[in-house]
Structure 1
Amino acid sequence: MKKLYLFDFDGTLTYRDTMFLYLKFYDASRFKLQFIKHIPLFILLKLKLADPEKIKRSFISSVLKGQSRAKIEKKSQEFFDYYFPELVRKNALEFIKSIDREKTDCYIVSASLDIWVQPFAHHFKMNLLATQAEFIDDIFTGNFLGKNCNGPEKVLRIVEAVGTKKYDKTIAFGDTSGDKQMLAWADEAQFEFFH
């Protein structure tokens, strides 16, 4: 029996959201300054008066724009080394260890940026579908390649990635409204399964 497992990352596999954690880890002083500058936008976001994708891009860009791919990858690996395994839910780790890889394809499907989720996906031996950072000449432009990997975009990415592969069962794991479409698309939905 061939299975497909789809895991949201932030909050599902981890105890907390990783965006602020990573950006603060990357450059604490720049993070602090940009966080203060972005407070009015975060308030608008809370009041649902602003586009979440635009604010996310603006904040990530304010900390990481102009940084080299080599430095970002190095810091992402250091972030993983520093926070793993404490950041990952204990029962999620146990579940991942128990997966029969011969019969199961596994994907992390995350709205977080690929740059800091990649070391986790690599460690778990999973494929990664995430919001993609745009690099030109190995320098981060501050933009995303394509759309934020959230909501309906998650399903589009999954469909594109699995192509014509057939599975006996597809199981999705999520914990927020951003996972709703992915959970509905799967044969079996597990909401807050590891909580």
Structure 2
Amino acid sequence: MKKLYCFDFDGTITYKDTMFMYLKFYNPSRFRMQFIKHIPLFILLKLKLAETEKVKKSFIGSILKGQLQTKIEEKSKKFFDEHYPNILRENALDFINNIDRENTASLIVTASLDIWAKPFAEKLQMNLVATKAEFKNGVFTGNFIGKNCNGKEKLERIKAEITDSKFDKIIAFGDTSGDKYMLKWANEGHYQFFH
């Protein structure tokens, strides 16, 4: 029996949202300054008067745009080293470590950027389906390649990832409305399973 596991990352297998953590880790003083500047946008977002993708791009770009890919990757590695495994829910980690790898594929499906989610996916031996950071000539442009990987986009990206494979059972784990399409589509959708 061939299984596919799809795990949301932030809040599902981690205790916290990693975007703010990573950006603060990357440059604490710039993070504070830009966070204050972005408060009006965050409020509009809460009121559903702004687009998540635009606000996210603006905030991430305000801290990382123009940074060298090598520096970003180096910082991502350090971020991982500092927060693994403490940031992960113990029961989620146990579950993942006990997956029978024989006839199983596992994905981390996250709206977080690939740049800081990648070391976690590698450590957990999963393929990563994430929002993709755009680099030109080794420098972060502040843009994404394609859409923010959330909601319907999560499902589209999973389908694109597994086009050539057939699975007997698909099991998904999520913890917010951004995971609902993925959870509905799976044979087994688990909401806040590890909480």
Q: Structure 1 length normalisation: TM-score?
A: 0.99
Aligned equivalents of 2:185, 2:70: Cα separation in 1 = 37
Separation of aligned partners in 1, 2:46 and 2:163: 37
Structure 1, residues 121-170: CA drift from partner, whole Å, max 9, x if none? Answer: 00001000000000000100000000000001011111111013111100
CA shift for structure 1 position 103: 1.3
Give the match's secondary structure for 1:133.
strand
Match of 2:74 in 1: 74
Work out the CA distance in 1 between the residues paired with 2:123 and 2:89. 15
Uncovered stretches (5+) of structure 1, i.e. residues with no partner: none
Aligned to 2:13: 13
What's the CA shift for 1:75? 0.3
Q: Partner amino acid for 1:4? A: L
Give, in angstroms, the shift of residue 118 of structure 1.
0.1
Q: Tell me the SS of whatever aligns to 2:148.
A: coil
Distance 1:97 1:176 in 2: 24
1:34-92 alpha-carbon deviations (Å, 9 max, x no partner): 00110111111111111111000000000000001100000000000001111000000
How many residue pairs get aligned? The number is: 195
Q: Which amino acid aligns with 1:55?
A: V
4+ runs deviating over 2 angstroms: none
Indicate yes or no: 2:192 matched with 1:192. Answer: yes
**Pair 1:145 & 2:145 matched:** yes
For structure 2, list consecutive stretches of 5 or more residues without a partner in the other structure.
none
Within-5 A mapping of 1:30-179: 30-179=30-179
Aligned-partner Cα distance in 2 for 1:40–1:96: 39
Equivalents in 2 of 1:159, 1:134: separation in Å? 22
1:163 counterpart SS class: coil
Secondary structure of 1:115's match? helix
Letter in 2 for 1:146: G
2:180 alignment counterpart: 180
Task: Report the 3-state secondary structure (helix = DSSP H, G, I; strand = E; otherwise coil) of the residue aligned with 2:173.
Answer: strand
- Structure 2 CA distance for aligned equivalents of residues 168 and 41 of structure 1: 43
Paired residue type of 1:122? E
What amino acid sits opposite 1:69 in the alignment? Q
Q: Which secondary structure does the structure 2 equivalent of 1:67 belong to?
A: coil
Aligned to 1:134, what secondary structure does the other structure show?
strand
Q: What is the distance in 1 between the residues matched to 2:171 and 2:151? A: 16
